[in-house]
Amino acid sequence: MFKTAVRHAVVIGLVALTCAGCGQQAVETPSGDDHLLVMGPASEAMAEPPEYVSEILASSGGLDLWRRQTRLRADGVVKLYQPDGSFYLSEHDLDVYPWSNAVRIEANEPRARFVWQLAEGRYQTLEGQAPLDVSPLAGSYGTYADAVLHIVTVPVRLLDEEAELYREPAPIHIRGQWYQRIVAKFYPARTASKDRGGERLGPAEFGWTDGVYFLNRGAGLIDMIWLGSETRQEYIMVRGYDYPPEEPGVLRVPSKVEIFRADAEGNVKERLAELDVSGR
């Protein structure tokens, strides 16, 4: 399950992913420098979203609930796949920051502890040395981190200023479900961001140029995303599963995530990773 934190780092409860409705009050203090990422939306500057985006936000818990989330915390078991189909089993601790467009992931691997962070398109290794990394995910942590960030926070990502969205009118049928495609073009250079100290950072170093959000019309949720980078010639497909049922006060985010390599046409290739959230 993801533990959800609100502004000023006050936890408002547990949003259960495998069983909805666990309730617990707590107060937590951000560790290390992650307090720099724990922030809410700039509400006064937020533009009115299109009606269909508002409907997606409503189906996933509502904009008011999303506004109160500054950090989603969880741990999970992850299968990291080799090219031959075999997999490497690991455990990851995840901190997802919806309004900072950031994710931090920790893993205790056999030879070292690793901490990776992706914030506003900037990837960095905070702890651990590459020669000690035996995981097949080595070299692809930025891709993995951004895939998790996107599928968990997709309703907020639809509000990003650098994304230009177009909803295709005709639905399509995929694996027994009706979907509507929302095509995205990303322009990170439009909004050269600042770090938490106010320093201008310029365009992101890591990111995507194109995307397609697949809106599951039955669930009212985006549970599949294609992301592509013309610059890196890299393409992935991300799928979310096991969402809690729609009820007041419940943030609907996936408890299982699959990440695949893909091609420029959206065809799925080999599996990269499979994450099953268990709790923290």
pTM over 0.85: no
210: which strand partners? 185, 228
State the pLDDT at residue 40: 67
Least confident of 91-105, 131-145, 148-162, 206-220: 131-145
Number of domains in the chain: 1
Contact (Cβ atoms closer than 8 angstroms) between residue 273 and residue 260? no
Query: What confidence tens digit (pLDDT) does each residue in 30-71 have?
Result: 344 666 677 767 655 567 889 999 999 999 999 999 999 999
Structure confidence at residue 29 (pLDDT): 34
Q: What is the DSSP string of 134-192?
A: --TTTT-HHHHHHHHHHHHSHHHHTT-TTEEEEE-SS-EEETTEEEEEEEEEE-GGGG-
Query: Is the predicted pLDDT of residue 229 greater than 90, yes or no?
Result: yes
Cross-strand bridge partners of residue 57? none
* Residue 45 belongs to domain spanning: 2-277
* CATH number for 81: 2.50.20
d(CA 277, CA 279): 6
pLDDT of residue 139: 81
- Write the CB contacts of 188 (distance below 8 Å, at least 6 apart in sequence): 121, 162, 203, 204, 207
- Cα gap 146→207, rounded to integer Å: 8
Backbone φ/ψ region at 266: left (φ over 0), alpha (ψ -120 to 50), beta: left
